């Protein structure tokens, strides 16, 4: 008898629409394969809904704040019901770009240099502070958003304007801009699932490039790397997955420049939409979408 699945999606983050799409795709595929499935938003009635439905497993399809930063994981832990993807601590670490960078650096994983910017404290002489440790252009990004939400490439002329745009965040990262090839690596438990290269028509693989079909980002699979470099990038992704303590499926984002792989971040709950990369990588590896979802569910059962 197939298990009852509760798919959590939506939420309050800026990635709400992507989460809804992920939840929709997952639920549709599970229902088609005769699972009993219900979708649910993480609102004030969440615990009541969980206790009423009594799912065997919760598929966490939430993205962004509240959904993949350890918060919802803490709530789910209290219910003692298996849930998918990483646990409380790993989710919290991966979502915090500064903390995860410190772990990368500790374990000798190359990542772009950065400084943390705190509003109403670091605004004075910000250009001089950037030039002291980094060089223009730079990337500015929130500490705890996903899907490249509010990520900008900045030069001396527009840095202050873009910092004002991000005034909704108290702290952000200012990171050296690494040009070069955009390569993503998917990890499935302790297995290297595969790689994919992206060639966005835009300046970089931002929110529009990820989710707007009209952006026409080119997906290249297999990636044109020699065996040594392919092993190197997948080894790094597996190491990051392990050192942070991730479970289930993760996707690591890299830049490849002058023979070096720079790990930008690790995503503990990669998207499962029609444009998402992990299902595409899995399909190339001979794993269908439903088999990928079933593996994620099985992994949740084993690891909880």
* Residues noted as catalytic: 15, 147, 211, 251, 253, 265, 267, 271
Angle value at C-alpha 281, between 138 and 76, nearest 5 degrees: 80
- Name the token pair of 283: 């399909």
Residue 110 contacts residue 263 (beta carbons within 8 Å): yes
Q: Whose CA is closest to 179, among 252, 257, 263, 259?
A: 257
Describe the strand order of the beta sheet including 57-60 as a list of residue ranges.
36-40, 4-8, 57-60
Cis ω for the linkage preceding 171 (within 30 of 0): no
**Cα–Cα distances in angstroms (integers) from residue 65 to residues 6, 37, 112, 211, in the given order:** 20, 24, 23, 18
**Number of neighbours of residue 127 by Cβ within 10 angstroms:** 11
Say which DSSP state 83 is in. B
- Name the token pair of 141: 């990004």
Q: Spell out the residues 6+ positions from residue 214 whose beta carbon is closer than 8 angstroms to its own.
A: none
Q: Where are the beta strands (DSSP E) in 62-180?
A: 114-118, 138-142, 152-154, 171-176
**Number of neighbours of residue 215 by Cβ within 10 angstroms:** 16
Rg of the chain's alpha carbons, rounded to an integer? 19
10 Å CB burial of residue 126 (0-12, 13-18, 19+) is middle
């Amino acid at each position: 008898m197939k298990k009852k699945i509760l798919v959590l999606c939506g939420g309050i983050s800026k990635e709400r629409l992507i989460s809804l799409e992920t939840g929709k795709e997952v639920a549709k595929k599970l229902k088609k394969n005769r699972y009993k499935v219900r979708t649910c938003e993480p609102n004030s009635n969440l615990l009541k809904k969980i206790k009423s439905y009594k799912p065997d497993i919760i598929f966490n399809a939430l993205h962004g704040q509240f959904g993949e930063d350890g918060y919802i994981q803490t709530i789910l832990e209290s219910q003692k019901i298996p849930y998918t993807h990483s646990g409380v601590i790993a989710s919290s670490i991966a979502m915090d770009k500064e903390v995860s960078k410190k772990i990368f650096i500790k374990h000798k994983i190359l990542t772009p240099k950065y400084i943390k910017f705190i509003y109403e404290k670091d605004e004075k002489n910000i250009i001089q502070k950037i030039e002291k440790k980094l060089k223009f252009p730079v990337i500015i990004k929130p500490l705890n958003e996903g899907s490249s939400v509010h990520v900008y490439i900045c030069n001396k002329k527009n840095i202050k304007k873009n910092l004002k745009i991000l005034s909704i965040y108290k702290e952000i990262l200012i990171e050296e801009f690494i040009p070069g090839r955009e390569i993503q690596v998917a990890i499935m438990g302790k297995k290297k699932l595969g790689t994919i290269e992206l060639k966005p028509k835009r300046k970089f693989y931002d929110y529009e490039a990820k989710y707007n079909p009209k952006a026409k980002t080119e997906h290249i699979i297999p990636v044109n790397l020699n065996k040594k470099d392919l092993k190197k990038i997948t080894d790094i992704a597996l190491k990051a997955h392990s050192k942070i303590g991730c479970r289930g499926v993760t996707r690591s984002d890299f830049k490849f420049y002058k023979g070096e792989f720079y790990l930008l971040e690790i995503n503990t709950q990669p998207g499962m939409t029609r444009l998402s990369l992990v299902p595409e990588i899995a399909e190339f590896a001979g794993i269908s979408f439903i088999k990928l979802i079933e593996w994620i569910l099985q992994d949740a059962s084993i690891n909880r």
